[in-house]
Amino acid sequence: MDLGLKGKLAVVTGASKGIGLGIANAFAREGAHLVINARGEEAIEKAAREISARHRVRCLSVAADVATAEGCDYVIDAAQDFGGADIFVSNAGTGSNETVAEASDDKWMDYWNLHVMAAVRLSRGLADQMEAKGGGAMLMNASICAVQPLWYEPIYNTTKAALMMFSKCLSTEMIKRGIRVNTVNPGLIRTPDWENTTRELRGEDWETYLQEVADEHADIRRFGTVEELADFCVFLCSPRAAYSVGSAYHVDGGMLKTV
């Protein structure tokens, strides 16, 4: 299936590894050019070089902290200089581990800025570029934890729920400008972070532990791959999903236990 993305410019944050890198590669396979962002300069430059070489597309790396207004401006300006964004995937984020009673105000604000304000600022800035090009698509990568929280990460749960609500509000405003906005809520996706954390917890027995987690939480009884999630995300951002507006999609192997 031709997704109609050849020559488009996709902006993907948190793209030096894991889900973000997978999404960037999936766009590149469709012939889209890219502006990819992460905080680590060396890692994001390496990702851009590899994507360009593998897929023969233009890929610009932007090392910036999108949890700050200055970092967001840097990404927005880079996209404008690269021809203007057609697609934006807000993917920058990370898990947490705390209790409400013990978590500091600073930690709450750090996650709010990373998960919510980055999406607010980048959406606001990139929308003008999309509208000037006749429209576009935005996708917020939230989490199943936005609707089915895990007990040990209340800050992550709360900020991802806020991101999902922001996406819904944004969709109503942006569709009037020819820009579609949707949310994806992944479940268990086998990322390097999952693997590294599990190795630290269980040593050589780490893969057995991953299977135990999958057996407990996902009806499909396995983790999803980054590629499976990335393909879904790219489809949602493509003209093939033109009637999808303001929706939240759970890509979770049956993990969600409500309707």
pLDDT at residue 54, as a whole number: 98
Region 220-226 average pLDDT: 98
**pLDDT band at residue 201 using 50, 70 and 90 as cut-offs:** confident
Region 174-195 average pLDDT: 97
Report residue 205 CA to chain centroid gap.
Answer: 29
pLDDT at residue 142, as a whole number: 98
Whether residue 178 is predicted with pLDDT greater than 90 in this model: the reply is yes
Region 158-162 average pLDDT: 98
**Assigned fold of 9-189+226-251:** Rossmann fold (3.40.50)
Region 213-236 average pLDDT: 98
pLDDT at residue 83, as a whole number: 97
43-55 pLDDT, tens digit each = 999 999 999 999 9
d(CA 89, CA 71): 16
User: Is the distance from CB of 121 to CB of 164 less than 8 angstroms?
Assistant: no
pLDDT at residue 1, as a whole number: 86
Whether residue 57 is predicted with pLDDT greater than 90 in this model: the reply is yes
Q: Where are the domains of the chain?
A: 9-189+226-251, 190-223
Whether residue 185 is predicted with pLDDT greater than 90 in this model: the reply is yes
Q: Which amino acid is at 150?
A: L
112-137 pLDDT, tens digit each = 999 999 999 999 999 999 999 999 99
